[in-house]
Structure formats: C-alpha cells, structure tokens
Amino acid sequence: MDNSEKSLLKILFEPFRYLSKYQTFIIGLTIILIAGVINSFANIHFDGVFDVHTGRPSSFIVFILEGYINLIILTGSLVILGKIFTKRNIDIVDFLGQQALARWPLLISSMITLSEPYQKYCHLRSFREIQDFGLFSFNSYDNIMVSLSIICLLLITIWTILLMYKSFSKNYKVQGLKGIMLFILGSIFAEIFSKLVILRII
C-alpha cells in the first residue's frame, strides 16, 4: 500500500485529524442538512440513530430535523456517560462537530435508497403487509441491485459507527472493552430515545 492509499484511508476513517474544530462542525451540520434534503425526495427517514427506512410521507422539515435529533441525542448520551465514567471534561462543540461529521457516510446511504430497484423493493414490502402481492415483479437485475444496496447500507452503517466510536474514544481517552461498552450503552439509549422522539413527529 503506497502513501496515497494510506492517506485516503486516514481521511476516510479519521477525518477529524485533518479539520479544525469549526470546519468539522460546519461541514458535519451541512452534510446532515444535505442528507435530509435528499431524503425528502423519496420519503427516506433517519428514524433512529443508525436507521435508514423508506416510509411514510412527511413534511420537508421532518426530514431535516431527523438527522439533527439523532445527532443531539447520541452526542448527549455519550457526553453523559463519558463524564460519569471517565471524569473528563471535553470541548462539547468539538465533539458535537465530530459526531456530525461521523454521519457523512449516511449521505451515501441516502443516495443508494433513491435507486429505482430499492424503491420498488420498499413498495413491494409495504404492499405485502396488506397481502397484495401482484403489484410489483422483480427481475434478476432488480434482485442483484437490491441485494447490493442492502449490503452497502450495512457496510455504511458499520463505517458510521466506527467513526462515531473513534471520536468518542479519542475525546474521552477510553479504549478497549470499557470504551466499547460505554459507546454501545450510549448508542442503545440514544437509539431508543431518538425513535420515540422521531415517531412522534413523522
């Protein structure tokens, strides 16, 4: 692996090292805004910290708010746990910006879910719930594209979680099992709380 490849990997998996606090903050919030705009085109909801679903129509502002709600709740959960278990004081604005920037792979998720085969799959699944099986048919191309889309969405979610954990670990100087368990605990709480909040507004 040459130096250019190593640099690209560092940018993809450690973007916080290359931006100032305010650059990270502004870019992160902007990315969440752009993702919300894209989501509004096809009723794609970030209805949980790590969730991406094609669902019910909502007002434009709902799609914008979802990303910010997830960001604030997850950041708050991690700050509370980090403070309790590490006793460290951190720059909350910097940490918030890092958690926002860590969500940038979800921008790719938004674009993937706009694809015609994936949209067809989501509609078919919805109609199956009311036992109407004849509205859509899948050909081999659709099956391949939907399968690839789901695999990509899973990998992007893992990528996003990794970036979020790296930010948490770096700020609170906590690694290993303790760092992982604190991050998982904060993520579970944030996932539940964000779903409760978002489901009330969509």
At residue 146, the pLDDT reads 82
Instruction: Check whether 130 has a pLDDT greater than 50.
Output: no
Q: What average pLDDT does this structure show over 42-54? A: 88
The interaxial angle of helices 176-201 and 140-172, nearest 10 deg, is: 120
32-46, 80-94, 113-127: range with lowest mean pLDDT: 113-127
Q: Where are the domains of the chain?
A: 18-201
Q: Are 38 and 52 in contact (CB under 8 A)?
A: no
At residue 139, the pLDDT reads 67
For residues 196 and 148, give the distance between their C-alpha atoms in angstroms, rounded to a whole number.
30
Instruction: Check whether 7 has a pLDDT greater than 90.
Output: no
